[in-house]
Amino acid sequence: MAFVGSGSATPDQSLSNDQLSLRVDTNDSWIRSRTGICSRRIIGSDESITDLAGRACLKALKMANWDPESVDLILLATSTPDDLFGSAPQVQAKLGASNAVAFDLTAACSGFLFALVTAAQFLQNGSFKRALVVGADQLSRWVNWDDRRSCVLFGDGAGAIALEVSSSKNDGLIGFHLKSDGQRGGCLNLPKIQDNLPLVDGITYQQGGFSTIQMNGQEVYKFAVREVPSILENLLESNKISPESLDWLLLHQANQRILDAVADRFAIPYEKVLSNLSNYGNTSAATIPLMLDEAVQDGRIKPGHLIATSGFGAGLSWGAALMRWQGPA
Ligand code: UT7
């Protein structure tokens, strides 16, 4: 299986730290020093997350030189679909990928990694030949814009990669580990609103609706700096790969301090740690493919490069994968 294309899309509207401080009691210097974020993109009135996911997929299709009808699978990792029944079929329709089965997968900020590994299984077991995996989230819809402890972190975006079976005996997905811990789910969640209403004859029902993002930042921070190095270390050891042989460390873009802490733990130089947090903040399932596409486009990631990636977030969920980028034929 080979990684042969990438694409990304972000909304036009940019919200700087200074602008955000007009809404909530915060300031540019606090946000920069505690998170590394300078601005984030926000979907405005004329766009949707399905649009962004579609644009990212189109670019990945173009890089891979694929006919949309040759795609077998579209997996959309999102926690913020336009339609709770799933938005992936709408992405399929936008692309004209009429032969692809398309469905959503929800695992918050780990969603892209979980979807990537899921799609790879279909290719590795021979069920499908070509897949698009897209991570797209619009957390701006679900942030409490008056909660300075969380709203400064998040933004909207989408990124996609194209995977296909290959004749090479060296699989592009070298290894992976995935984990969940529902016991700690309360650290970061977006729970339903409990609204019981009478239906008829004493029968009640729960009206649909969700609250806003609830986050214990310090607990999530501690979770990330403990679990990400640990899962990466296990993955590297089980695949007999040394940290020095990595070309890139591509972590979920949550906080620059988390990226630096993980790099320090493995003595990986900061030049090998991909980061675009300053421009986009945390775009949840989109961060990894958005960053990957940026580095492919500007030539930092080259064919044959070895990348260690790790996603982590709500659930709690986390995972790591080792991948070798191939690029288009
Ligand atoms: O995909 C995963 C998503 N979630 C995360 O990645 C969250 C991980 N956690 C973090 O990134 C950090 O915990 C935060 C950036 C959220 C917070 O940084 P911190 O260094 O843990 O700050 P803190 O919560 O300990 O707060 C320190 C101080 C407090 O003031 P006092 O009590 O010391 O006077 C806060 O009230 O900073 C204050 N504070 C702020 N001040 C200005 C908290 N948020 C802000 C803010 N602007 N936005």
* pLDDT average, residue stretch 204-231: 97
Domain annotation covers residue 282? yes
The pLDDT tens digits of the residues spanning 100-134 come to 999 999 999 999 999 999 999 999 999 999 999 99
| pLDDT band, very low/low/confident/very high, at 252 (cuts 50, 70, 90) | very high
Minimal CA–CA distance to 190: which of 137, 249, 136? Answer: 137
Q: Is pLDDT at 325 greater than 90 in this prediction?
A: yes
Q: What is the pLDDT of residues 193-209, one digit of tens each?
A: 988 999 999 999 999 99
Backbone φ/ψ region at 108: left (φ over 0), alpha (ψ -120 to 50), beta: left
Mean pLDDT of 50-59: 98
Q: How many Å lie between the centroid of ligand 1 and the Cα of residue 217?
A: 6
- Domain shared by 72 and 143, yes or no: yes
Residues 123 and 177 in one domain: no
81 and 60 share one domain: yes
Q: How many other CB atoms are found less than 10 A from the CB of residue 255?
A: 23
Domain count, the chain: 2
Same domain as 101, residue 119 = yes
Is 204 domain-assigned? Answer: no
Ligand 1, from 15, 27, 37, 221: best to mutate by most atoms within 8 Å of Cβ?
A: 221
Same domain, 86 and 179: no
Binding site membership of 96 for ligand 1 (Cβ less than 6 Å): no
Residues catalogued as catalytic: 109, 252, 282
pLDDT at 101: 98
Crossing angle (nearest 10°) for helices 88-95 and 49-64? 50
**Is 201 a domain residue?**
no
**154 and 11 share one domain:** yes
Q: Are 319 and 117 contacting, i.e. CB atoms less than 8 angstroms apart? A: yes
CA distances (Å), 179 to each of 65, 176, 225, 318, in order? 34, 10, 15, 5
Do residues 180 and 152 share a domain?
no
Check whether residue 158 and residue 18 sit in a common domain: yes
CA atoms of 70 and 132, how far apart (whole Å): 11
pTM above 0.85, yes or no: yes
Q: Are both 135 and 13 inside the same structural domain?
A: yes
Query: Where residue 221 falls among pLDDT bands split at 50, 70, 90?
Result: very high
Residues 178 and 120 in one domain: no
Let me know whether 108 and 235 are in one domain. Answer: no
